[in-house]
Amino acid sequence: MQRLTSWIAAHPLYCMAVVALLSVLAFVTVYDLHDSRLRLKIDPTIERLLPEKGDDRAVFDRARETFGDSDAVLVAVEMDEVFTPEGIARIDALTRHFGELPGVRQASSLANVPNPLAEGDMLEISTFGAQARENPERVRAFPAQIAANPIYRDALVSKDGRTVAFSISLGDLSEEDFRKQDYTGKIRALAVEVAGSDRVWITGGPVIKAATVDALLDTLAFTLPAVLALIVIMLLLVSRSVYGMLAGAATVLISLLWTMAAAVLLDIPINLVTAIVPPLLLTLGLSYAVHLQADYYAVRETSPEARVQHVLSKVGPGLFLSGATTVAGFLALMPQALPAIQQFAGLSALGVTFGMLLTMVFLPSALRLQRQSTARRPLGERFFLVQARRLAVFDLRWRNWIIGIALLTVPIDLYFASRIHVGTEYIKSFHEDAEARRDFEHINQAFNGASIVSILIETHVNDALTDPELIGQVESLQHWLRRQPEIGSVVSYVDHLKLINQSMNEGDPAYYAVPRDAASVKQLLVFGGSSEIKRAIDSRFRSALLTVRINVDSSAQIQDLIQRVEERLGELKPPLNASLTGSPVLATRAVNAITSGQISSLALASFAIWVMLSFMFTSPRAALLAMLPNLLPVLLYFGILGISGISLNPTTSMIASIVLGIAVDDTIHFLARFNADARAKGNETAAVKSALASILRPVTFTVLSLCIGFLVFTGSELKNQVQFGVLASFTLFVAWFADILLTPALGSKLRIVTLWDLLRLDLGQSPQHTIPLLSGLSLRQARVFALMSKMEKMHEGGQLIRQGDLSRDIYVVVDGTLEAWIDRGGERKTLATLGRGAVIGEAGYFGQRRTASVDAVTPARVLRFDSQDLERLRLRYPRIAAIIFRNLNRVQAERIARTTAMLQ
């Protein structure tokens, strides 16, 4: 590792050339130079976010294939006069104009639906529009006729009779084309022009999807430049150098370019979820760059190469581990059922890896080439030093209180977290003044429902649905559905059938019923059915679609309805097989899939990070302690969700895993630095002070960058994006607070051994075989013991022990030669020459004064440990401690035996 950092420090141009070459390749991967266009796919469709396979999707596709798209555009127009010949003529004209729009399969309204009128043996089945044209006098009877027709009641005209509804079914018009060609705007303009009213409301699945995509693209258009500006400002603040700012910005942008190239190669589109990746990566990349630059410009080394080497060896391990834990946080989202979340997780993990690599390879190389690279006093250095000292004193003094209060928050957070409600409110995601929300709410209120769900009934038997007994079951289901408060209306082929029967029987209300035999049913459906019936029953009478208008929008309410409806559908007898479907149902199921995966994702992220920390700190217990200051903010986050009433929805559910992955970085930085300083100083209190002094400034800057970066999302038009920004930055802030208070309090008694230390430590050839105290240990255990002790270097002639001193330290010679001697009346008498493996001063361990002095004859390295170290070892690594104690006893026994032999 050391060699790698040295190589990077020595070959900046080579590193930059490799990065430049890869960046050129990434650029041509992302941008097609031949056609001058981006190869990166932008797919804002919502449907493709859902799993392509699965029962729900299959039912949805079957319903759409058989009965056409149920996701119609709903238009409501308030008119001064509806039930006048002129009003009907306007409605008729507008319906025709809607129908003529390219991509529209059918437009229907009061004007073009049939109004069956029976008189004697005459049956008139012309439309309201035609009847108004032929005999304007008949218009007056329309309100009563509509009210008497269950299919049209409250569906064509609002209860107050002033607002007319239009339903526009789309044909082969993709969601993207609908949005790009501004169909919502076209429909509105047509309505205003033809109907002569500016009181127009438009909603429906395609409209809301288009509005959502527009809002997200607007957010992206705002967040990217805002985060870029933030990068420039933060890097300027940290480096106080334009060159440093440019180098940092280039690092962040190159990592984004590589990530986008990976997206092209992996065929991952920029969709509604992956659209968060670019600003997120810019923000995270900025935090890495800030961290490295803060250290780089603070280092007092004179040569740029030495500075790079120093920074990489100091910051590198922490940075690597930070990146790894952040990647783990993202990868924990992979088991989520939705492909869009998996793509988000995979792309983010790749992006973080690129960012981390570039920060460790490209950024130091670029900084190394800076001409004027003398160290300068970093911004706020003195302030942070003073605060760090105060903080360290506070943390150590109030250690138990801090830990106690932190633990006290756990049950409180859990209590409030139990009040979290799961789900999302689709339309309320828009601002109150947003046109999409205003229109939806108006139509929902005026027509008692603005969202459509469907019940697909399948029998797989031709003509089965003409059986009156089965029709009775469908009718009973409809009655039950109409009693549900969330349901505004239900229309099925049974309604059409009963109306046909009534019309064919002189309009007698007694015949508003299902005929008694299947043949009659079939004859009425075949010979009396209008075109509308094709949307309700298939041509073989084996499957039917119940169109259900619902007046609720939140996923929790829809889920509640889904549960009740599915229970009721389960009561249908064979061959009736019914399923609830439609866009709101699919979306609700997707929301539930995401949020139910929250606990498992968080558990997975925590476990992955714990495993990584255990590996890096070579101790599961140390890893657990490092996790605590980060799990507490996550718990607090859930508590705040419970208190504030903000729901756990697809956006807010991602925060915990992401924040955990990011926040643990600061803990790692502190513990890594604390460990190094504790080993170097041999004093934990001093190490807490120095570690805090070292990390407080960069950690504060990175957290500040991240918080501001996430707060950029508050500029979004969508409420859930705003919540994401506010909650993520708040949780990160809390994590920072915990890291500067709780982590030092917890870590002050903790000596960790990092994998990095293990790899770097040099104990010479086979220490477990050449040093008796380490006999029986593995190489790793020998190194762990060495790292739990203190490695001290001695120069030639230096004194290790002075005769007569009272000290409890024990020493083991790692290399070099030492001499033990005593002073006899001013004369130096050499007792022994000590080499590798010799144990010195073990008598001091038992409270005796030093009986001889020990000096270094040559430069030497010794391991020093005392009873506290051994106790710490016993607690943390009992197996290693047992062997050390055994070996120590053996050394003592041998020494006693030797002494006894000498005396004899």
Partner 1 sequence: MIRMLAGIVLAAAPLLAQAQAPAAAPAAATAAPIVQCMRANIPPSVQVKEVELISRDRTGGERQLRGRLYATNDKDRVKAMLKIGSPPDLAGAAYLMREGTKADEIYVFVPALNKVRRVTGGNMDGPLWGTDLSYNDLKQVQNAFQDQQAKLEGKAVLDGTPVQVLQFTPQPDQASRYTSIRAWVEPKSCMALKAEFYEGLQVVRKRFSGSAKDLKQSGPHWYLADMVVADLKEGTQTRIKVTGVAAGKELADRLFNPATFYVGN
Please say which residue, 39 or 64, places its beta carbon nearer to partner 1.
Answer: 64
Cis-peptide into 378, omega within 30 deg: no
Please say which residue, 112 or 649, places its beta carbon nearer to partner 1.
Answer: 112
CB 492 within 8 Å of CB 482 = no
Helix/strand/coil for 577: strand
Query: Shortest Cβ distance from residue 526 to partner 1 (Å)?
Result: 6
Query: Shortest Cβ distance from residue 66 to partner 1 (Å)?
Result: 5
Bridge-based pairing state of the strands 577-581 and 104-109: unpaired
Please say which residue, 522 or 621, places its beta carbon nearer to partner 1.
Answer: 522
Query: Shortest Cβ distance from residue 185 to partner 1 (Å)?
Result: 19
Query: Shortest Cβ distance from residue 126 to partner 1 (Å)?
Result: 2
Query: Shortest Cβ distance from residue 97 to partner 1 (Å)?
Result: 11
Backbone angles phi, psi at 36, to 5 degrees: 50, 55
Query: Shortest Cβ distance from residue 184 to partner 1 (Å)?
Result: 20
The number of residues in the chain equals: 904
Query: Shortest Cβ distance from residue 518 to partner 1 (Å)?
Result: 7
Query: Shortest Cβ distance from residue 135 to partner 1 (Å)?
Result: 11
Query: Shortest Cβ distance from residue 462 to partner 1 (Å)?
Result: 9
Identify the CA nearest to 587 among candidates 551, 569, 562: 562
Please say which residue, 224 or 533, places its beta carbon nearer to partner 1.
Answer: 533
Task: Starting at the earlier edge strand, list the strands of the sheet with 451-458.
Answer: 487-491, 543-550, 451-458, 577-581
The CA-CA-CA angle for residues 669, 867, 742, to 5°, reads 30
Cα gap 585→452, rounded to integer Å: 9
Backbone angles phi, psi at 150, to 5 degrees: -65, -20
Helix/strand/coil for 124: strand
Query: Shortest Cβ distance from residue 219 to partner 1 (Å)?
Result: 36
Q: Distance of CA 547 to CAs 60, 294, 488, 494, 495, Å?
A: 13, 62, 11, 12, 11
Q: Would you tell me which residues interact with partner 1 (CB under 8 A)? A: 65-66, 68, 100, 102, 105, 112, 114, 121-127, 130-131, 171, 463, 504-505, 515, 517-520, 522-524, 526-531, 534, 538-540, 542
Helix/strand/coil for 595: helix
Q: Distance of CA 826 to CAs 801, 823, 829, Å?
A: 17, 6, 9
Please say which residue, 60 or 426, places its beta carbon nearer to partner 1.
Answer: 60
Give the residue carrying structure tokens 């770097």: 760
What is the Cα 698 distance to its own chain's centre? 24
Please say which residue, 525 or 546, places its beta carbon nearer to partner 1.
Answer: 525
Cα gap 20→762, rounded to integer Å: 36
Query: b or e along 35-66 (b: 16 or more beta carbons within 10 Å of the residue's beta carbon)?
Result: eeeeebeebbbbbebbbeeeebbebbeebbeb
Query: Shortest Cβ distance from residue 513 to partner 1 (Å)?
Result: 13
Please say which residue, 302 or 539, places its beta carbon nearer to partner 1.
Answer: 539
Query: Shortest Cβ distance from residue 496 to partner 1 (Å)?
Result: 13
DSSP classification of residue 806: B
Please say which residue, 106 or 592, places its beta carbon nearer to partner 1.
Answer: 106
Please say which residue, 111 or 261, places its beta carbon nearer to partner 1.
Answer: 111
What is the Cα 260 distance to its own chain's centre? 18
Q: Is 139 exposed, middle or buried (0-12, 13-18, 19+ CB in 10 A)?
A: buried
Q: Distance of CA 283 to CAs 300, 330, 341, 399, 560, Å?
A: 28, 15, 19, 33, 39
Q: Count other Cβ atoms within 10 Å, centred on residue 1.
A: 14
Helix/strand/coil for 823: strand
Query: b or e along 871-890 (b: 16 or more beta carbons within 10 Å of the residue's beta carbon)?
Result: ebbeebbeebbebbeebbee
For residue 28, give both structure tokens.
Answer: 């041509």
Query: Shortest Cβ distance from residue 65 to partner 1 (Å)?
Result: 6
Query: Shortest Cβ distance from residue 573 to partner 1 (Å)?
Result: 23
For residue 495, give both structure tokens.
Answer: 């309604």
Query: Shortest Cβ distance from residue 465 to partner 1 (Å)?
Result: 13
Cα gap 567→546, rounded to integer Å: 16
Please say which residue, 119 or 267, places its beta carbon nearer to partner 1.
Answer: 119
Please say which residue, 126 or 181, places its beta carbon nearer to partner 1.
Answer: 126
Residue 589 neighbours by CB under 8 Å, 6+ apart: 56, 562
Query: Shortest Cβ distance from residue 538 to partner 1 (Å)?
Result: 6
Please say which residue, 173 or 686, places its beta carbon nearer to partner 1.
Answer: 173
CB 206 within 8 Å of CB 71 = yes
